[in-house]
Structure 1
């Protein structure tokens, strides 16, 4: 069960935004990621609880940022309930999308598990509901994912497979690289892995 800490920063000016203390693990029917987020000063800033089924679909999402909360799941596309800071007015949403995304590294792993790409295969288009900090405002985004290559790196615990993805934002044309090792993000825009206590979990049959 990998445990560790990510640092999150603005990908443009590198302003520190938060630390995300996480643990994650595959289970009998999918994968779960749980994390607590703190500000650079150490104050509590939110949490992530994401469970995927064996096909990589979100069967349970609970996301907190400040006083805002979103609960969601894959249902007729994706469905969610967003609660305001007072708790008096909850709003529901539903979009014909494949999954959710947000600032947490968990959602990069989740999208990769959902798509199950192979090196050299054509890029795959995916529609996601992005829950945007700091108020978890939902918006629909379209991305294209391609698995450029997979390389084995020798470690004390055996070979570590690192996957390099190219992710394109279809509304802007912006492209960026995402490097994953199993269920751990090694590097991505705005994300840095600072600490990892156990090896990543492997999902690959190939």
Structure 2
């Protein structure tokens, strides 16, 4: 069960956004990721709880910030409820999309798991529902994913396969690179892996 810490920053001007302390693990029904997020000053800022089925679809998503929370799942696309802590401002949403995304590194692992790309295969287009922090406002985004390289590295715990993805935002044409090892993000725009207590889990 990988457990560790990511540092988060603005991918454009590198302003620190805080940290995300996480643990994740594959299970009999898929994969689960839970984390707590903190501000740059160390104050708690929210939580992430994402569970996938064995095909990479979101069985359950719970996001929380100080003032808002999201509960979502795959249901005729993806469906969610966005509410304040009192429940007085609850709104529902649904989009014909296969999955969610957001600032948490969990969503990069989830999308890669859903697509199951092969090195050298053509790029795949995917529509995702993104939740923008700190208000968790939903926004539909279209991305293109391609697995450009998969390389095994020798470690004390055996071979570590690092997958390199090229991800493109189809509305702006902006491209960036994501490096994954199993269910851990090694590096991506705005994300750095600072600590990892146990090796990544590999997906079958």
Give a deviation string over 1:109-149, Cα, whole Å, max 9, x none.
00000000000000001000000011000010000000001
Where in structure 1 are there 5+ consecutive unaligned residues?
none
1:50: which partner in 2? 50
Length-normalised TM-score, structure 1: 0.98
Query: Which residue of structure 1 lines up, in the alignment, with residue 41 of structure 2?
Result: 41
Deviation track 1:146-177 (CA, whole Å, cap 9, x = no partner) reads 00010000000000000000000000000000
Gaps of 5+ in 2: none
**Aligned CA-pair RMSD:** 0.7
| C-alpha displacement of 1:87 | 2.6
Q: Which residue of 2 aligns with 1:156?
A: 156
Matched, 1:5 2:23: no
- The match for 1:59 is 59
What is the SS of the residue equivalent to 2:48? Answer: strand
Deviation (angstroms), 1:98: 1.0
Equivalent position SS for 1:154: strand
Structure 2 counterpart of 1:93? 93
Aligned pairs for 1:193-204 within 5 A:
193-204=193-204
* Separation of aligned partners in 2, 1:18 and 1:99: 25
Shift of 1:66: 1.8
TM-score normalised by the chain length of structure 2? 0.99
Q: CA deviation at 1:65?
A: 1.6
Count matched residues: 204
Separation in 1 of the partners of 2:107 and 2:92?
21
- C-alpha deviation, 1:85, in angstroms: 4.8
Counterpart of 1:16 in structure 2 is 16
> Using the alignment, how far apart are the partners of 2:51 and 2:4 within structure 1?
18
CA–CA distance in structure 2, aligned partners of residues 198 and 99 of structure 1 = 27
Q: For residues 182 and 141 of structure 2, what CA distance do their matches in structure 1 show?
A: 25
**How does 1:179-194 map onto structure 2 within 5 Å?**
179-194=179-194
> Matched residues in 1 for 2:32 and 2:93: separation?
23
Report the CA distance between 1:86 and its aligned residue. 4.3
- For 2:150 and 2:166, the matched residues in 1 are separated by 12
SS of the aligned residue for 2:155 comes to coil
Tell me which stretches of 4 or more aligned residues in structure 1 moved more than 3 Å: none
Cα separation, 2, equivalents of 1:65 and 1:178: 25
Residue 174, structure 1, aligned to residue 174, structure 2? yes
- 2:28 maps to 28
- The separation in 1 between residues aligned to 2:102 and 2:18, in whole angstroms, is 14
Q: Which residue of 1 aligns with 2:73?
A: 73
